[in-house]
Amino acid sequence: MEREKSLSMKPTRFLVFSFTIFSSTLFLSTFTIWLIKSSPSLQNQTTFLHLNTSSISLSSSLNDSDNVTLNLQPLKFQSLTRFTKNFTVNGVKIPTFIDNQLAGPHNILTGSKSEDLTHHVVVVDDDDGSAFNFTALQQENETSSSDSRVRNEQNKLVVANVDLVGKTQVSVLMKIEKNKRVKECDLTKGYWVFDQSYPLYDKGSCPFIDEGFDCEGNGRLDRNYTKWKWKPKDCDLPRFNATKMLELIRGKRLVFVGDSINRNQWESMLCMLFGAIRDPKRVYETHGRRITKEKGNYSFRFLDYQCTVEYYVSHFLVHESKARIGQKRRPTLRIDAIDRGSSRWRGADILVFNTAHWWSHYKTKAGINYYQEGSFVHPKLNVSTALRKSLMTWSSWVDKHINPRKTQVFFRSSAPSHFRGGNWNAGGHCGEAINPLNETLTSTYSEKDIIIEDIIKKMKTHVTLLNITSLSQYRIDGHPSIYGRKTQSSSIQDCSHWCLPGVPDTWNQLLYYHLQGK
């Protein structure tokens, strides 16, 4: 019996042993095949991704109005490491990356040939929502040479999140940074570069330039002053796009309030926008007024966009009045009362203020029997103190009457004058200048701008400082000089206002940038 039992056990043991051997072999074979397929290093293959440049369009709401087309070479990833799981899009397996850098010296952009597949991966930038269209390419048994270089150093690769079919989240080592974001650099620090694509308009295409700013119409022959572009040191300032600007102000009121330098900027804005209008008759002044130096209030309607671009003269933003001093009534400045025309400013969607130019005149600088508070006229008051009090009156009015949920408020800093050899009425001149300065005449921040900035910081309402002072310091060539009137005279030159087209176009370019960022 014991022998029979022993003999009966042998077939069972043999079957168990055979099944164990077969299972182990099958497991090892399956594991080996899976390992080979999932590891690119074992296959010695190169994976290509190709940027479909025809469908890439970068549009930044902060800085760039125009689409930027990128022309990049195919990307070759030679050693992609640390994969997680694979996922499938349209039947094609794509690895999910969890590393944010490429390993090895050969992980560079290259111009190697590759064959397109039919599926696409859309990469979305988390920062601004910009979408990029990537075409996955078939793997090839090619390797890149170690001395390949990136043709464009600005096209950097970082991790970007992608939401693919089935809401699968994937991190891809790609984000295009062709230009640094404008918001990350100081727009006031830079230089002027000569650009033949400027100006954005010319005298013949704009009927809104009045005689004081029409340098070409008044006989100025050189045109180089119209062809300079402001280039910040660390980024590019978006080119002004008139159609997009009109869309930004569709159905709105864009209002400039201030002195004749603000009228300079307002006329520039009209000219820049007018170039995008096909039918000139669709733009008109609501009161039928023709722009001149004498009339101070204008409202131009753009019918196709149901918007108005308006200007209201206010040299000081506070009320210019008269008071009895001795036996006579003399002009005074009510530094405690807002300008009487302020009712027209209310309800605007965009307000651009300025005051500075008239604070350097003799009366304001002397301050003798000129500044008034209530019924009291100061026998003498320092101009800086008077300016601060006036701006506090203005800021209180803004905080009380402007709804920040409806209205965006800007305050433009002072525009520099470039008189040489005397003041405007004492032989000051700038007519010999035909190019920008290599360096600014002064590196100090003007006291007026310091006061303006200090007042703005203390306001409840958010006010954006449109800082144009430093960039305008270089442009001694941009003033009308003797070309501010049709009959030239070298005895009195205008080195305060600006030719159009010219420097104020750049001020509006800055305004356009800020409006895009809202």
SS3 content of the chain, % helix, strand, coil (to 5): 30, 25, 45
Q: Is residue 12 part of a domain?
A: no
Q: What is the DSSP letter of 460?
A: S
**Cβ neighbours of 344 (radius 10 Å):** 16
DSSP result, 352-402: EE---GGGGSHHHHH-BS-EEETTEE-SB--HHHHHHHHHHHHHHHHHHH-
Reduce the DSSP state of residue 312 to 3 states and report it.
Answer: strand
- pLDDT the model gives residue 49: 37
Rounded CA separation 116/171 (Å): 22
Reduce the DSSP state of residue 491 to 3 states and report it.
Answer: coil
Range of the domain at 488: 196-316+344-356+383-517
**Cβ neighbours of 187 (radius 10 Å):** 23
Q: Is residue 363 part of a domain?
A: no
For the stretch 266-291, what's the b/e string if a residue is b when 16 or more beta carbons lie within 10 angstroms of its beta carbon?
bbbbbbbbbebbeeeeebebeeeeeb
In a structure prediction context, what are the per-residue pLDDT tens digits for the chain, which is 518 residues long? Answer: 444 444 444 566 667 677 778 777 877 777 777 766 655 444 444 333 343 444 434 344 344 444 444 444 444 434 333 333 343 434 433 333 333 333 333 333 333 333 333 333 333 333 343 333 333 333 333 333 334 443 444 443 333 333 433 433 433 333 434 344 445 688 999 999 999 999 999 989 999 999 999 999 999 999 999 999 999 998 889 999 999 999 999 999 999 999 999 999 999 999 999 999 999 999 999 999 988 876 789 999 999 999 999 999 999 999 999 999 988 999 999 999 999 999 999 999 999 999 999 998 889 999 999 999 999 999 999 999 999 999 999 999 999 999 999 999 999 999 999 988 877 666 788 988 899 998 876 666 789 999 999 999 999 999 999 999 999 999 999 999 999 988 877 778 999 999 999 999 999 999 999 999 85
Provide the annotated active-site residues: 260, 494, 497
Reduce the DSSP state of residue 203 to 3 states and report it.
Answer: helix
Work out the angle between the directed axes of helices 260-274 and 503-516 (0-180°, nearest 10): 70
Q: Is residue 177 part of a domain?
A: no
Q: Is residue 57 part of a domain?
A: no
- pLDDT the model gives residue 395: 98
CA distance readout (Å), 3 to 6, 7, 16, 193, 295: 5, 6, 21, 106, 128
Q: Is residue 328 part of a domain?
A: no
- pLDDT the model gives residue 71: 46
Q: Going edge to edge, which strands form the sheet with 463-466?
A: 283-285, 297-302, 307-313, 253-258, 350-353, 408-412, 463-466
For the stretch 30-50, what's the b/e string if a residue is b when 16 or more beta carbons lie within 10 angstroms of its beta carbon?
eeeeeeeeeebeeeeebbbbb
DSSP result, 65-117: -S-B----PPEEES----EEEEEEETTEEEEEE--SS--STT-SB------EE
Rounded CA separation 330/344 (Å): 27
**Cβ neighbours of 93 (radius 10 Å):** 11
**Cβ neighbours of 449 (radius 10 Å):** 16
Q: Apex CA 222: angle with CA 216 and CA 226, to 5°?
A: 75
- pLDDT the model gives residue 16: 66
- pLDDT the model gives residue 32: 76
Decide: 478 and 211 in contact? Cβ < 8 Å. no
The H or E element containing residue 330 is: strand 328-338
Residue in the structure block whose two tokens are 């600005």: 154
End-to-end Cα spacing for the chain:
97
Q: Is residue 128 part of a domain?
A: no
Q: Apex CA 282: angle with CA 278 and CA 284, to 5°?
A: 130
Q: Residues 6 or more apart from 67 whose CB is under 8 A from it?
A: 57, 58, 59
Q: What is the DSSP letter of 155?
A: -
Partners of 408 in beta bridges = 350
Decide: 359 and 415 in contact? Cβ < 8 Å. no
Q: Is residue 133 part of a domain?
A: no
Among candidate residues 498, 474, 504, 23, the one with its CA nearest the CA of residue 215: 498
Decide: 303 and 254 in contact? Cβ < 8 Å. no
Q: Residues 6 or more apart from 328 whose CB is under 8 A from it?
A: none
Q: Residues 6 or more apart from 354 whose CB is under 8 A from it?
A: 257, 258, 259, 261, 262, 411, 412, 413, 414
- pLDDT the model gives residue 14: 66
Q: Is residue 143 part of a domain?
A: no
In the chain, the number of structural domains is 1
Burial label for 96, CB within 10 Å (0-12, 13-18, 19+), is middle
Q: What is the pTM of this model?
A: 0.67
